[in-house]
Each structure stands twice: as structure tokens, then as C-alpha cells.
Amino acid sequence: MTLVSFRTFAIIWTVILALAIRASWGAAAPLTAAGLIAVGIAAWVFFEYAMHRFFFHLKLRSAIGRRLIFLAHGNHHAVPGDPYRNIMPPLISVGLAIPIWLALSAAFGARGSLLFLGFALGYVAYDTVHYACHQLPVRGKLMGRLRRHHIRHHCSEEDGNYAITAIFLDRVFGTNVAAKR
């Protein structure tokens, strides 16, 4: 339940994104729709940072709590090169996505699906970048910077560099781990 291949991730999230597009189709004028999608992406950026910092690195006292955190994220730190542990397990990602989508739809109607679409696109970008940081040869200045930032989280200071795609947040919140010189 904690292992997932990139192919499985791609199939699951292609279906979810297609459903979100279908559910939101015609819910707003194109410019408004683009704005709502952008708001959803921005919401994801902060959610990504908060989840990684405050949940995935939560220091719990109970054995059950520590085990759950390990299954959700700690096993990735134990074996960061394992390609089946570089993507969030669907049990967690889809398990969080469904109630978020339902809540946004309940609050905003069909426009909530546009917000969710942006949120989900942010998530897919996050997990794709995270997977690439660990599994693919890095090409380009931006991906090199993102990879260096994330690898410092694994190799230098686990209590820092929580952001994967929006690394400016580590500077904003004082959790940036600078390169060792």
C-alpha cells in the first residue's frame, strides 16, 4: 500500500484530472476559469509545504503514530533512491484529494472543480518533480536548482528544505538549508 510506480501514478492522476476537467467544463468564462485554476495551484503550493513540514516530519510519541508517519513518508527517507517510494501512495494522495474536491464543490459549486483542478495540477507537478529529483538525470538550470534544494533535505538537514516545487517558501518561512561551502 506504500509502493507506487510512476506509471500507476500517471494513470490514476490522468483519470482524476480528466474527471476534474469534465466536472468544471463551462463553469466559468475562460479568463475566470484560468484565474480559479491559478488560485488552486497557489493553494497547492502552500499545502505542499505545510504537509511536508508539519505532517510528514511530525515527531510523535506513540508507536502507532510514528509507524503511520513512517509509512506515509519516513520510508522514503529510509530509502530515497527507491523509485516505488518517490511518489505519494494513492491511498494518501487520492484519499486526501477526494474530500478536498468534495469540499470545494460543496462550497463553490462547479467552480470548485476548477479550484480542485488547479490544486490537482499542482500536486501532479510536485510529485513529478519529486520523482525526477530522485530518479532522472537533471537537465536545465531550474531542475538542477530544485534537485539540489531537495537533496539537501535528504542529505544535509531533514528539518529544512520542505518545499519541492516552490522553494522560495523555505526562505519565506526560515527553513532554507543553504549549500555547504
Q: What is the pLDDT of residues 142-178, one digit of tens each?
A: 999 999 899 888 887 778 899 999 999 999 999 998 8
On the question of pLDDT at 80 being above 50, the answer is yes
pLDDT on residue 7: 97
> How does the average pLDDT of the chain come out, rounded?
91
Look at residue 170 in the predicted model and tell me its pLDDT.
Answer: 93
Confidence of residue 76 (pLDDT cuts 50, 70, 90): confident
SS (H, E, C) the chain: CCCCCHHHHHHHHHHHHHHHHHHHCCCCCHHHHHHHHHHHHHHHHHHHHHHHHHHCCCCCCCHHHHHHHHHHHHHHHHCCCCHHHCCCCHHHHHHHHHHHHHHHHHHHCHHHHHHHHHHHHHHHHHHHHHHHHHHCCCCCHHHHHHHHHHHHHHHCCCCCCCCCCCCHHHHHCCCCCCCCC
- Identify the pLDDT of residue 181: 46
pLDDT (average), residues 94-104: 97
The string of pLDDT tens digits covering residues 17-55 is: 999 999 999 999 999 999 999 999 999 999 999 998 898
pLDDT bracket for residue 116 (50, 70, 90): very high
